[in-house]
């Protein structure tokens, strides 16, 4: 089964992925990365690896394996 992985240091907190997720599986963590941006995390229970976030992200934050 595929799983979504996030590289938080690449995230710039734009929120495109959060808005694109129909399952509401992505959320802002409140944690700040090295660049000073609030990062996102995934709720594995809600995520079905539809790739909507992957396709929307301009910074290649997501990996599906």
Specify the pTM.
Answer: 0.91
Query: What digits encode the pLDDT tens for the residues 32-61?
Result: 999 999 999 999 999 999 999 999 999 999
Fold of 4-64: Alpha-Beta Plaits (3.30.70)
Q: Which tens digit of pLDDT belongs to each residue from 3-29?
A: 999 999 999 999 999 999 999 999 999
Strand partners, 6: 62
In 1-65 the beta strands, taken as DSSP E runs, fall at 4-6, 26-32, 38-42, 62-64
- Tell me if residue 25 falls in helix, strand or coil: coil
pLDDT band at 1 (very low <50, low <70, confident <90, very high): confident
Distance CA 53, CA 1 (A): 18
Domain residues of the chain, as ranges?
A: 4-64
């Amino acid at each position: 089964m595929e799983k979504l992985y996030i590289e938080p240091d690449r995230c710039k907190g734009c929120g495109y992925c959060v808005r694109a997720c129909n399952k509401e599986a992505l959320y802002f963590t409140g944690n700040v990365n090295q660049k000073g941006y609030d990062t996102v995390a995934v709720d594995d229970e809600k995520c079905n690896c539809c790739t909507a976030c992957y396709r929307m992200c301009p910074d290649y934050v997501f990996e599906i394996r």
